Amino acid sequence: MCGACGATVYPDPVMGAENTLRNRILVAQTVSSVCAGVPGAPRIAALAAGWSVTSATGAISLCHTVADIWRALPVRSASVLQHALEVRALAEGPVGLSARVVALGLDLTRQRVLIGPHR
pLDDT tens column, 66-105: 999 999 987 677 788 889 999 999 988 888 999 999 999 9
**Smallest Cα–Cα separation from 51: which of 39, 69, 38?**
69
Q: What are the helix (H) ranges across 1-119?
A: 21-35, 66-72, 78-92, 97-115
Contacts of residue 105, Cβ cutoff 8 Å, sequence gap at least 6 = 31, 34, 70, 81, 85
pLDDT range class, residue 11, cuts 50, 70, 90: confident
Confidence of residue 63 (pLDDT cuts 50, 70, 90): very high
Q: Please choose, from the candidates 89, 86, 44, 92, the residue with its C-alpha nearest in 3D space to the C-alpha of residue 68.
A: 44
Contact between 108 and 67 (Cβ < 8 Å): yes
This prediction's pTM: 0.85
Q: Alpha-carbon torsion 5, 22, 33, 107, what sign?
A: negative
| Domains in the chain: boundaries | 21-118
Please indicate whether residue 118 or residue 66 has the higher confidence score (pLDDT).
66
* Residues found in the chain: 119
**More confident position, 3 or 40:** 40
User: CA angle 83-108-76, nearest 5°?
Assistant: 60
